[in-house]
Amino acid sequence: MKYTVNDQGYYGDFGGAYIPEMLYPNIEELRQQYLNITEDAGFKAEFEQLLKDYVGRPSPLYHAKRLSEKYGANIFLKREDLNHTGSHKINNAIGQILLAERLGKKRIIAETGAGQHGVATATVCALRGIECVVYMGEVDMERQAPNVARMKMLGAQVVPATSGSKTLKDATNEAMRDWINNPEDTHYIIGSVVGPYPYPEMVARFQSIISLEAKKQLQEHTGKQLPDYVLACVGGGSNAMGMFYHFLDDEEVKLVAVEAAGKGVDSGHSAATSVLGKEGILHGSRTILMQTDDGQVVEPYSISAGLDYPGIGPQHAHLHKVQRAQYVSITDDEALNAGLLLSQLEGIIPAIESAHAFAHLEKMQFRKEDNVIVCLSGRGDKDLSTYIKHFNF
Ligand SMILES: *Cc1c(COP(=O)(O)O)cnc(C)c1O
């Protein structure tokens, strides 16, 4: 387990917990308890039951024949788009709500940018009858009105963050402030492999069900457990970490992480952290992030809200630095075209986030016997208006 976290909470040079002193008790409680709780047989049984009956797992590993023909390799899609609520985010939300219950918490907080993580959190809170408060930038609330409505319908309170740029980082600050003020009864559900240790590790473990299933399923399809390539898109990096997890120590499996180049890496409108980023502290961990020379976080840009993030999780920063995974980037236009292609070759409309991973297939060279797994992290229903605007349907 060369690439996992050490007992100080670091992946090589990255990770740790850089937090205000007032958050220390909350983080320390989590750090001490999360492994005992999540490794317990009763926890595992309940987690697996809900993943099966509520989320609809295992998600299929689908052999995409027409896509395979186009690219000259055997391409398999890991169908996280078929999960309840439409993406991989629910896997982590279920894990964390069960953890919160066992920690004796009575109230959940979360922050959300595009609203996808907010919806997953509101969903699991409804499922368990737990109070839910979601912080969201005021600007994002306007841009993502349907997800605000979903959260409200699910019984969550959505609180606008009205400071700064009124977007994700301001919502994060509000959620942190809430947690500091309510350390006893509240659990903060973070939605990706980011934040102070132990969050990146905890979220990666909950999402690792993706590669656990995929390994078995590939064996059934091909007689081999190991693919030649695994691809996934990276915002904070949780679907990619889940998709890579059980292949990390199989060094012959090539891992490809696809970031959003936005309008182009040199355009000033991009979220390609591995190209543009430098080492620093973001959201409580040491990682790679987009920042100015004097350390201000640069506002990222991508057409896909889920990839519009100025950093990557610390484990990705490590995999990038030691070159265990290859980090590449795809522009808005390339992603939208790949979304259209997948729709018309396979009858599957992907989330624009996931379409970034598919767009990279175009730039790869395969042998016809290569087995390739692409993580289809979410469905495209939420992105229909963006596709319509771009293609003039
Ligand atoms: C949120 C989201 C992402 C990006 O988040 P990661 O933590 O990088 O996985 C990717 N795809 C979909 C469908 C999402 O909703």
Same fold: 10-50+89-203 with 56-87+208-391? yes
CA distances from 47 to 41, 147, 307 (A): 10, 25, 27
Strand order in the sheet with 10-11: 10-11, 14-15, 285-289, 278-282
Q: What is the pTM of this model?
A: 0.97
- Given 68, 87, 89, 354, which residue is catalytic? 89
**The CATH number of 56-87+208-391 is which of 1.10.3720.10, 3.60.21.10, 3.40.50.1100, 1.10.10.10?**
3.40.50.1100
**Ligand 1 site, residue 15, Cβ cutoff 6 A:** no
Q: How far is the CA of 336 from the centre of ligand 1 (A)?
A: 16
| C-alpha triplet 143, 281, 114: angle, nearest 5° | 15
Per annotation, catalytic residue among 68, 208, 270, 377? 377
Q: Whose alpha carbon is nearest atom 3 of ligand 1?
A: 306
> What is the tens place of the pLDDT at every residue in 132-186?
999 999 988 988 899 999 999 999 999 999 998 888 888 999 999 999 999 999 9
Active site (annotated) includes residue 274? no
Domain ranges of the chain: 10-50+89-203, 56-87+208-391
| pLDDT value, residue 376 | 98
Residue 279 falls in the annotated catalytic set: no
Q: List 112's β-bridge partners, or say none.
A: 136
Do residues 73 and 367 make contact, with C-beta atoms less than 8 angstroms apart? yes
pLDDT in tens, 326-352: 999 999 999 999 999 999 999 999 999
- Summarize pLDDT for 208-258 with one digit per residue, the tens: 999 999 999 999 999 999 999 999 999 999 999 999 999 999 999 999 999
Which three-class secondary structure state does DSSP give residue 257?
Answer: strand
CATH code of the domain made up of 10-50+89-203: 3.40.50.1100
Using pLDDT thresholds of 50, 70 and 90, give the confidence band for residue 114: confident
Q: Which of 78, 87, 89, when mutated, tests ligand 1's pocket best, judged by the most ligand atoms within 8 Å of its CB?
A: 89
Query: Would residue 270 show up in a list of annotated catalytic residues for this protein?
Result: no
Mean pLDDT of the chain: 96
For the chain, helix, strand, coil in percent to 5 are 45, 20, 35
How sure is the predictor about 1, in pLDDT bands with cuts at 50, 70 and 90?
low
